[in-house]
Structure 1
Amino acid sequence: MSIEQQTESTQKPKLNFRFLLSGAWIAGFIFCIIFAIITVFLGEWQMDRRMEKLDEINKIVDNYDIEPVPYDEAGHLFENFEEQHKWTPVIVQGEYLEEDTLVARNRPRAGEPGFEVLVPFLTESGDHILVDRGWLPIGEDATAPDTVPAPPEGQARIIVRVVPGEQTINRNAPDGQVASIHLPTVSEQLDYEIAEEAYGLMAGESPQMDVVPQQMPEPQRDEGPHLSYSMQWFTFGLMSFVVWGWLAYQKAVRNREDEMYGEREEDGYISAHRIERVKPVKRRRGQMTDEEIEDAMLNS
């Protein structure tokens, strides 16, 4: 390093950030704060969705594959549903009321539209519950299944998993169909009352029929991408301040360089972008050497 470069480095002024008090930079910082608040809100929203998924997975793990519980012990869940007991398998004795069979419309499965078969079931204790026997594809006219497999006649022993009824979607449906498994709406279509808080998803029945609807698939135990989405939102909020700070640093560096170049020109230094071309000098006897010419140029 030359003496000139050493002198320049020792005299380099400090970075000046007073420009951050200007209106534009204050507005930029306020924008970062608002953006960070929004990203934190979105990140927390994704975390809440993840916790809901984990809670649902825990119910599946705790209840789905346990030994079926007799209706005498778990029958109250159909009238007074408890969320922690969702998916609990229950053994029920009684008979299907086939003449009151309904189908729930708009039930896609694996990308194919279809219906779910709903059949009221009269228990030995005299209660009426709704049983979802499974899924059927749409028929040729696309308004109903081609055929609905009949349930066992007379006394039957079924195993169902308890799930809560659905919300109403306020849509009309053709006779013999419902737009959603909204149990009060289903009860209105029957001549008797059924349990209006939960219904049963078919898990098995005896006697076994030769033709039955397709059984409903096991619920997924995947929490989804909510955790990664949440981390991304938090990172976006932090990065806004990083970008603002980096831009401020670059601005301070440019201001210092402009100040340094201005001082050098005032002190007689040659600016890097203003160096003039020097005409070559021919060597003659008695004239200066190349080294002497270079020294003279530097001194000037």
Structure 2
Amino acid sequence: MTRHDVTPPRQWQFNLKLLVFSGLFLPLLLGLGIWQLERAGEKERQLQQWQQQATELSWQQLWQQVPEPGQPVVLKGQFTGFSWLLDNRTRDGVAGYEVMTLFEAVDGPSVVVNRGWLRAPARRETLPAFPTPPGIVQIRGRLVMFPQPPVLDTQPPAGNWPRRVQALTAEQAGEASPSLAPLVLRLAGGDQPGAFRADWQPDRMGPQTHYGYALQWFSLALVLVILTVVASYRRVAGSPTPSCSSMPLSSSSLYSPSTTGADNDNDDGQRHD
């Protein structure tokens, strides 16, 4: 006969440690996901407000409301002959400069415009030559903070224009204009007047980033619930229930190989013979 084990069914078993662990982390994960959704909604409302202000308010009116870094603006004016070349800027492993030019607005304070990246000449002592559009132009971009120095350099720029600098502060740029905005206007793209390579990396998280983070937190909460439910169902402790199955018996197994009395007599008779 053979023996087969029957797998016992899984049953819900109370596990205090597991439930406490899940009860602590599940609200935390859900709260983080909801918080990211709220942040995404705030960013969307902020972007809508900024876009409305950029189209409805003049540069002078917008500046009176104290704009923030990242805010899009549209203004008219003209580029001046004051330009700074931010050193140690690379694109695709190629050395170059970011061209910063003072822009005089038709109304409102002047602003330093980051026109994008320009390839550096082969010789270090040679500065790149670049054109500047004349006359009144309309530019579009976003306000950013003045660039931080990649290396420690506290010496003020000097010499002829354009000037090569490691960093540019609002105080240094203010020497070229009596009224200067404390933020830099970064052109929106290469199609803007006077722009060079203006493929900027995002310097702030948009609503899509917050939605992505919210999806990650909610996914972790779902995984936690699934693992908790699976771990709570365990097999019932105890010995497995055996079951036997009958095997076909051969004809020879119907009789035991015992020696009968008649056989003993025959054996005795044969030995007498």
Give the TM-score of the pair, scaled to structure 2: 0.60
Alignment match, 1:31: 21
- Residue 91 of structure 1 corresponds to 76
Change in 2 beyond 3 A, CA 1:229/1:121: closer
Counterpart secondary structure, 2:182: coil
* Alignment counterpart, residue 217 of structure 2, candidates 218, 224, 233: 233
Correspondence 1:124-203 to 2 at 5 A: 127-140=109-122, 146-151=127-132, 156-161=135-140, 163-166=142-145, 169=148, 171-173=151-153, 175=157, 176-177=163-164, 182-184=169-171, 186-187=173-174, 190=176, 192-197=178-183, 199=185, 201=187
Give runs of aligned pairs for residues 54-73 of structure 1, distance below 5 A.
54-55=44-45, 58=48, 62=52, 73=58
Bigger radius of gyration, 1 or 2?
2
Q: Deviations over 1:236-259 (max 9, x none)?
A: 21331322222222x1x433xx37
Would you say the 8 A contact 2:96–2:118 is kept in 1? Answer: yes
- Return the alpha-carbon distance in structure 1 between the equivalents of residues 165 and 38 of structure 2: 32
C-alpha distance in structure 2 between counterparts of 1:284 and 1:277, whole Å: 14
> How far apart in 1 are the matches of 2:165 and 2:16?
59
- Per the normalisation by structure 1, the TM-score is 0.55
Q: Please report how far the alpha carbon of residue 136 of structure 1 lies from its aligned counterpart in structure 2 after TM superposition.
A: 0.9
Alignment partner of 2:138: what SS?
strand
The Cα RMSD (Å) is 4.8
Higher RCO (Cα < 8 Å, 6 or more apart): 2
Q: Kindly, what percent of the aligned residue pairs are identical? A: 17
1:34 partner letter:
L
> Hey, what's the Cα distance between the residues in 1 that align with 2:126 and 2:65?
33
Number of residue pairs aligned between Structure 1 and Structure 2: 235
Partner amino acid for 2:132?
P
More strand by percentage: 2
* Larger helix proportion of the pair: 1
Q: Give structure 2 stretches of 5+ with no counterpart.
A: 1-7, 158-162, 256-273
Offset at residue 102 of structure 1 (A): 0.7
Equivalent position to 1:47, from 6, 16, 37 = 37
CA distance in 2, matches of 1:147, 1:13: 79
Q: Which runs of 5+ in 1 are unaligned?
A: 1-11, 206-211, 262-270, 288-300
**Which residue is 1:75 aligned to?**
60
Q: Does 1:245 align with 2:229?
A: yes
Is residue 98–residue 117 contact of structure 2 (8 Å, CA) maintained in 1?
A: yes
Q: Which residue of 1 aligns with 2:251?
A: 282
Q: Is the 8 A contact 1:118 1:133 kept in 2?
A: yes
- Are the equivalent residues in 2 in contact too, given 1:46–1:230 (CA < 8 A)? yes
SS in 2 for 1:77: helix
The yes-or-no answer on 1:103 pairing with 2:89 is no
Measured in 2, the distance between the counterparts of 1:89 and 1:43 equals 35
| CA displacement at 1:30 relative to structure 2 | 2.1
Contact 2:71 2:142 in 1 (8 A): yes
Alpha-carbon distance, 1:134 to partner: 3.5
Quick one: distance in 2 between partners of 1:39 and 1:126? 47
Within 5 Å, give how 1:236-275 maps onto structure 2: 236-249=220-233, 251=234, 253-255=235-237, 258=238, 261=241, 271-272=242-243, 275=244
Check conservation: 2:51, 2:72, Cα contact below 8 A.
no
